[in-house]
Amino acid sequence: MKIAEQLARHFREIHFGPNWTSSNLKETLANVGWVQATTKLEDFSTIAALVFHINYFVKAVIPVLEGGPLDAHDKFSFDVPPIHSEAEWQKMLTQVWADAEKLENLIANISDNLLWETFSEEKYDTYYRNIQGVIEHSHYHLGQIVILKKLIYNQTN
């Protein structure tokens, strides 16, 4: 199996499971409604904001793997649009799952040689580092989502 295929698999497992952490976004968010997703606890980000933030960087990598430019700015990565209904929350999640599947397929189909080439600009290092970074970043925020979900459900039960 190519390295790129392994990276794609790891990326997919964070979103859809199963993985060695026994935690993935789709199962974690399966019973989170829009009210819980937008509940603000102290000065923590909301679950919705973290999901948006994870996907912001997923969406940033897609055009680069399609041969386009990198157009992402950290300052916009938490600019989650307002969510006022379950339909809006589900629409956001549907987009997240679609973007994850698209990025997984793009990663799986790149050559292992490309992994060691410059990603967009020299300052961003290699494709490998950026793809692995998206994977690590997603796992990091998934952990936060799991904790927030427990805190929110403990407050309401």
Q: Is the pLDDT of residue 147 over 80?
A: yes
pLDDT interval class at 1 (50, 70, 90): confident
Write the CA distances from 21 to 2, 25, 140, 143, 157, integer angstroms: 23, 12, 12, 10, 26
Residue 143 exposure: Cα atoms within 13 Å on the Cβ side: 6
Q: Calculate mean pLDDT across residues 69-87.
A: 96
The helix/strand count (H/E) of the chain reads as: 6, 0
Indicate the average pLDDT of the chain.
96
Q: How many domains does the chain have?
A: 1
User: Looking at per-residue confidence, does 1 or 142 come out higher?
Assistant: 142
Which domain CATH number covers 95?
1.20.120.450
- Residue 37's domain comprises 3-156
Q: Is the pLDDT of residue 46 over 80?
A: yes
CB of 74 closer than 8 Å to CB of 147: no
pLDDT interval class at 11 (50, 70, 90): very high
C-alpha–C-alpha distance, residues 131 and 11, integer Å: 9
